[in-house]
Amino acid sequence: MHTAVNLWPLLGIAVVVAGFLLRAHPVLVVIAACAVTGLAAAMSPAHILESLGSAFIKTRNLPLILLLPLAAIGLLERAGLKEHAQASIANIRSATTGRLLTVYLFVRELAAAFGLTSLGGHPNMVRPLVAPMAEAAAEARIEARGGRLDERLRQRIRAMSAATDNVGLFFGEDVFVAFGAIVLMQTILRAEGLEVDPLHMALWGIPTAVSAFVIHAWNLRRLDLRILKEAGARQ
Amino acid sequence: MIAIDFFYLLVGLLFAATAVMNLRDRSNPRRFTTASFWGLYALVYLVGERLPPLAAGVLMVAMALVAGLGPVRPGKALALPEETRRASAARLGHRLLIPALAIPVVTMIGSTLLKDVQFGAMPLLDQKNLTLVSMGCGAIVALALACAITRASPLQGVREARRLIDAMGWAVVLPHMLAVLGLLFSEAGVGKAVAEITTSYIPMTSRLVACAAFCIGMALFTVVMGNGFAAFPVIAGGIGIPVLVGVYHANPAVMAAIGMFSAYCGTLMTPMAANFNVVPAALLELPDKNAVIKAQLPTALPLLGVNIVLLYFLM
């Protein structure tokens, strides 16, 4: 090929893939990938460090979403927020883990589609409320039959709670016209000489958004069946 | 004006407090490495843009080495016994939900109603970081409400925040460092190299192959970069516009919408999207850092297939 593109920086990707496959410490993998990518692009070590440093300062707004709610959430946890969430859900007899998470998925996805992306999130909704409620619903079900929720299933339920938040957010927000992704797509297509109406991009996202809901709700139903099986096995 | 710098300062102080509390915690066998890790991170927020880029780079590498080689460990858990928490939950009841819900409510009010409020010539909220600043205000309102309802001091709030930060450990900085790697990738031209390879070696001879290559390419590139926004320009520029629109006359709106959603399928599958996948695993105290990704695979993979089919029939 008559190429002028430098392919060597791809080594950085190779380092990332190898690092994760070898289960090396992720933070060290990132630093190694930075070093390899920079060197492969013929940057000097000082230049690499400067690029890393200015990028590190520039992106320090990222962890704020995670960090800012922690003091309030921690206090509420100390005062029994998780226990309260669990006690409330255990009183609703028709509540199952799968149904509860499906309702959360629906609300999260719909809210995100209307631009309300902050209605949810891992530190302020999933950890203190959604995951404890999902666990309590399974516990109520299994303990009603005299069993105990085993640790592996408990962890699976927690992971599913986090997954439900992600799926709802991702496939809801892109249906919202003013969302960053739509603006980004419009800008990029315009640079290539294609003028696209943001409303059309949002509308054509709906079939996938609906499919995401159906597929994930089906997986949540499978989780319910697994909990039911566990409850039956302990009878 | 309430600027984002105010919240940088708060987070810096929070990390400094985490460092000091860990340093004074003699029960933690790794208290020196743990304290130096959080101390270094505090500098990033407290000194911030006044740090020369080279120094900030050295600082980032030092943090990574401390986290990777000298383990960062949580101090002793100061949580109350479960019985006490249960009694408190029974006493306070639904009032406990008020501060938790205050965060999204204040964020929404800030980013919609208070968006254009001005004091003199100055806007009330930092316009460039509207959502973050609104959320920061929400967090402060929530902390005040939580203190009032639980009759605890704000200092106790800092202690609780330290407990949660300690529990997450180095996972707190992973998304931040991955964002840096993403920026370095684009500076070094990794995107161009990937586009070069995908477009030169995959034969786009049939409509279905082109659709599949486009969707899978989006997902795979997102898996590597951890961010759909990084994948979209590369794959849309490499396959979407020249092949799907250029050769097969696809509707650009369909190509773009389904392309971005294919990228999101990739986001669900990668530890590189640490703030969505790795941080929640740490936050929920799951021993398997990939547990959230494993829970997402049965949704992400079928959905990617659905995307290929939808693109084939709708474009």
Which pLDDT tens digit goes with each residue over B256-270?
Answer: 999 999 999 999 999
Shared-domain flag, residues A23 and A138: no
pLDDT at A2: 45
Residue A121 has pLDDT above 90, yes or no: no
- pLDDT band at A28; cut points 50, 70, 90: very high
Does A119 lie in the same domain as A96? yes
Q: Is residue A168 part of a domain?
A: yes
Contact B261, B228 (CB under 8 A): no
Using the predicted structure, report yes or no on whether residue B290 has a pLDDT greater than 70: yes
Note whether B284 contacts A62, CB cutoff 8 Å: no
The answer to the question of residue A1 being in a domain is no
Distance from CA of A234 to the nearest CA of B (A): 24
Do residues B193 and B239 make contact, with C-beta atoms less than 8 angstroms apart?
A: no
Percent of chain A with pLDDT over 90: 33
Q: Same domain, yes or no, for A114 and A181?
A: yes
Last residue of a domain, one of B172, B207, B227: B172
A36 is a domain residue: yes
B22 and B143 part of one domain = yes
Mark whether A28 and A69 lie in a shared domain: no
Residue A40 lies in a domain: yes
Q: Residues A212, A140: one domain?
A: yes
Angle ∠(B88,B92,B96) on CA atoms, nearest 5 = 105
Using CA atoms, how far apart are residues B193 and A145, in angstroms rounded to an integer?
Answer: 58
- Optimal mutation site among A82, A107, A170, interface B, most CBs of chain B within 10 A: A170
Residues B18 and B154 in one domain: yes
At A193, list the tokens. 């000489």
Cα B167 to Cα A54, B13, B45, B145, B172: the distances in Å are 28, 18, 21, 24, 10
Residues B204, B165: one domain?
no
Per-residue pLDDT at B292 = 95
Same domain, B252 and B205: yes
- Specify if A124 maps to a domain: yes
Give the type of residue at B172: V
- Asked if the structure places residue B291 within a domain, the reply is yes
Whether residue A151 is found in the same domain as residue A221: yes
Looking at the fold, whether A54 and A70 belong to one and the same domain comes out as: no
User: Which pLDDT band, with edges at 50, 70 and 90, does A99 fall under?
Assistant: very high
CA A22 vs CA A14, A31, B103, B276: distances in Å: 12, 15, 39, 22
Residue A103 and residue A119: Cα distance in Å, rounded? 14
Among A19, A35, A58, identify where a domain stops.
Answer: A58
- The confidence score (pLDDT) of residue A4 equals 67
Q: Annotate B72-134 with DSSP letters as a single string.
A: -------PPPHHHHHHHHHHHGGGGHHHHHHHHHHHHHHHHTTTT-EETTEESB-GGGHHHHH
Q: How far apart are CA A63 and CA B101, in angstroms?
A: 20
Contacting residues for A149 by C-beta, under 8 A, at least 6 apart:
A135, A138, A139, A142, A143, A230
User: Looking at the structure, do residues B197 and B272 belong to the same domain, yes or no?
Assistant: yes
Amino acid at B270: T
What is the rounded CA–CA span in Å between residue A75 and residue A61? 24
Looking at B148, B172, B196, the residue that finishes a domain is B172
**Residue B48 pLDDT exceeds 90:** no
Q: Which of A1, A52, A82 sits opposite B200 (nearest CB)?
A: A1
Q: What mean pLDDT is predicted for residues A97-111?
A: 91
B173 close contact with A: CB closer than 8 A:
yes
CB A54 within 8 A of CB B52: no
Q: Say yes or no: B89 and B156 in one domain.
A: yes
Output A182 or A83, whichever has higher pLDDT: A83
Q: Which segments of chain B does DSSP mark as H helices, in order?
A: 4-23, 31-46, 53-69, 82-92, 97-112, 130-150, 154-168, 174-188, 190-201, 207-225, 228-235, 252-267, 274-283, 291-314
Q: Is the dihedral of CA B299, B302, B304, B306 positive or negative?
A: negative
Residue A157 lies in a domain: yes
Where a domain ends, among B114, B144, B172?
B172
Whether pLDDT at A41 is above 60: yes
Both tokens assigned to A233: 């096995």
Q: Which domain holds residue A228?
A: 64-233
**What is the distance between the alpha carbons of residues B46 and B15, in angstroms, rounded to a whole number?**
10
How many domains in chain B?
Answer: 2
> Which of A58, A82, A98 is the C-terminal boundary of a domain?
A58
Q: A30 vs B64: CB contact, 8 Å cut-off?
A: yes
Q: Are residue B162 and residue B198 in the same domain, yes or no?
A: no
Q: Domain residues for B18? A: 1-75+82-172
Interface contact B176-A59, CB threshold 8 A? yes
- Domain co-membership, A187 together with A225: yes
- State both tokens at B165: 């930060």
Of the listed ranges A207-211, B74-78, B137-141, the one predicted with least confidence: B74-78
Helix A180-191 / helix B252-267 crossing angle, nearest 10 deg: 130
In this predicted model, which residue has the larger pLDDT, B233 or B276? B276
CB A93, CB A130: distance < 8 Å: no
Q: Is residue A128 part of a domain?
A: yes
Sequential DSSP letters for A100-131: HHHHHHHHHHHHHHTT-TTS--IIIIIIIIIH
Helix axes B252-267, A206-233, angle to 10 degrees: 30
Q: Given this model, what pLDDT does residue B16 score?
A: 96
- Token reading at B65: 């080495």
Q: Cβ separation of B236 and A189 shorter than 8 Å?
A: yes
* Mean of pLDDT values over A110-136: 84
- Judged against a pLDDT cut of 70, whether residue A3 lies above it is answered with no
Within this chain, do residues B160 and B247 fall inside the same structural domain, yes or no? Answer: no
Shared-domain flag, residues A110 and A49: no
Q: Is residue B278 in a domain?
A: yes
* Mean pLDDT of the region A103-130: 84
- How near does any CA of chain A get to the CA of B283, in Å? 7
Residues B118 and B234 in one domain: no
Shortest Cα distance, chain A CAs vs residue B156, angstroms: 7
How many Cβ pairs within 8 Å bridge chains A and B? 438
For residues B259 and B236, is the Cβ–Cβ distance under 8 A? yes
Looking at the structure, tell me whether residues B133 and B193 fall in a common domain: no
Please tell me the distance from the alpha carbon of residue B289 to that of residue B274, in angstroms, as a whole number: 10
- Residue B177 domain flag: no
In a domain, B276, yes or no: yes
Instruction: State residue A234's pLDDT score.
Output: 54
Could A57 and B48 be called an inter-chain contact, meaning their C-beta atoms sit closer than 8 Å? Answer: yes
CB contact under 8 A, A27 and B67: yes
Residue A200, domain member (yes or no)? yes
Cβ(B164)–Cβ(A124) under 8 Å?
Answer: no
Domain check: are A42 and A110 in the same one? no
Mean pLDDT of chain B: 87
Contact B157 A72 (CB under 8 A): yes
How far away is chain B from the Cα of A179, in angstroms, using its nearest Cα? Answer: 12
Indicate the number of domains in chain A. 2
Nearest CA in chain B to A216: B299
Q: What is the mean pLDDT of chain A?
A: 86
Residue B21, classified by CB atoms within 10 Å of its CB into exposed (0-12), middle (13-18) or buried (19+), is buried
In-domain check, residue B211: yes
Assess whether pLDDT exceeds 60 at residue A102.
yes
Name the residue among A160, A106, A165 with its Cα closest to residue A135.
Answer: A160
Mean pLDDT of A52-62: 88
Residue A179 binned pLDDT confidence (cut-offs 50, 70, 90): low
pLDDT at A209: 93
Cβ atoms within 10 A of the Cβ of B206, count? 10
Confidence bin at B296 (pLDDT 50/70/90): very high
The arithmetic mean of pLDDT across residues B1-26, rounded, is 91
Are A114 and A190 members of one domain?
yes
Region A180-198: mean pLDDT is 79
Please tell me whether residues B14 and B39 are part of one structural domain. yes
Instruction: Say whether pLDDT at A135 is over 50.
Output: yes
B122: left (phi over 0), alpha (psi -120 to 50) or beta: beta
Q: Which residue has the higher pLDDT, B175 or A130?
A: A130
Q: Do A13 and B190 touch (CB under 8 A)?
A: yes
Q: How far apart are CA B243 and CA B217, in angstroms?
A: 13
Confidence band of A180 (pLDDT split at 50, 70, 90) = low
- For residue A233, give how far its alpha carbon lies from the nearest alpha carbon of chain B (Å): 23
Residue type, B60: M
0.90 surpassed by complex ipTM: no
Query: Do the chains contact at A204 and B187, CB–CB below 8 Å?
Result: no
